[in-house]
Structure 1
Amino acid sequence: MKTTKILAAVLLLFIWQGCNSKNKKQDNMEPDETALNNIFPIGEKGSAEWFTGNAYPTSLLEADSIYTTLAGNVYFEPGARSNWHTHPSGQILIITDGIGYYQIEGQSIEVMKKGDVVKFPPNIRHWHGASPDVGVQQLYIIPNTEQGIVEWMEAVAEEEYNNKK
């Protein structure tokens, strides 16, 4: 009986130390604010023809004659962004994680973060991407693809990108 009590006490001590040391490790860990939770697989690196920095687009829904809607996911590493571009039927972004920027031509740069929904009207020049320090994960939706999908333009200059007020 005495041996059983000793074994139980030693076992409890090991369990308590294991839990306590795990908590100490977690308390001392710095959170990695740049790590994002990806809900979709990261795609292949996007073309330097359309993106500055590392952007990884993945198609999720191909347009067809019934739905005429395109949907996908893009992960932008910190500092990465799209070129200026337009969409004949507009574009909708749903931000699923991180912090990003977007700009409609002639307007100030805006911040977008997890949970935000951003709508770009048809044929309006704009760009979007990650903030300098934190990446961004976004779903994109392009409706009415029978009218066209995207017209790519020039890259966003560093001075423009860094002009966040």
Structure 2
Amino acid sequence: MIHIPPRQQAGTAGKAGSQFTGVAFPYVTMAATDGVVINTVDFTPGARTHWHSHEDGQILQVLAGRGLVQSEGGPVVILRAGDTVWVPPGERHWHGAAPDSFMVHTAISLGETTWDAPVAEEEYRAKAEENER
């Protein structure tokens, strides 16, 4: 077991080679440990990740605000506080804040992350679908 109290977390207000469009504040809650990385990210309105995938998948837990998520070829889905998203291994996707809202989420990334191109504005602004409540 590894216990990481807040004073020992490797928090940062940004990271070199950022893979975000807009302003996002990633906080590394747990640096890579046994192939798992945990980040809490504060996204400003319109901020989002680039397209990416995870070797062994990713779990997103929305803590506050309203956001968007999309897997390649799928619909843009609206996220709200309390939502959890499972992204299967290798599935290319992006996630971030809605155009008119901040969003905070915790991302649990499993295995290596492969980053790709920024999300085009027309992809980001596509009509979003409500998730079931």
TM-score, shorter chain, exceeding 0.5: yes
Distance 1:47 1:113 in 2: 28
1:140 to 1:99, Cα distance in 2 relative to 1, 3 A: same
Q: Match of 1:162?
A: 125
Aligned length: 118
1:52 to 1:46, Cα distance in 2 relative to 1, 3 A: farther
5+ residue gaps, structure 2:
1-10, 129-133
1:88 aligns with 2:51: no
What SS does the corresponding residue of 1:127 show, helix, strand or coil? strand
1:11-160 matched pairs, under 5 angstroms: 43-46=12-15, 49-65=18-34, 68-143=35-110, 145=111, 149-160=112-123
What SS does the corresponding residue of 1:122 show, helix, strand or coil? coil
Structure with larger Rg: 1
Structure 2 counterpart of 1:75, one-letter code:
D
Distance 2:17 2:47 in 1: 11
What SS does the corresponding residue of 2:123 show, helix, strand or coil? helix
Structure 1 counterpart of 2:114, one-letter code:
E
Deviation at 1:164, TM superposition (A): 1.9
Q: In percent, how many aligned pairs have the same letter?
A: 39
TM-score normalised by structure 1 residue count: 0.67
TM-score normalised by structure 2 residue count: 0.82
More RCO (CA 8 Å, sep 6+): 2
Distance 1:48 1:158 in 2: 20
What SS does the corresponding residue of 1:63 show, helix, strand or coil? strand
Deviation at 1:62, TM superposition (A): 2.0
Structure 1 counterpart of 2:118, one-letter code:
A
Deviation at 1:63, TM superposition (A): 2.6
Deviation at 1:47, TM superposition (A): 5.4
5+ residue gaps, structure 1:
1-41
Higher helix share: 1
1:156 to 1:124, Cα distance in 2 relative to 1, 3 A: same
Deviation at 1:117, TM superposition (A): 0.2
Higher strand share: 2
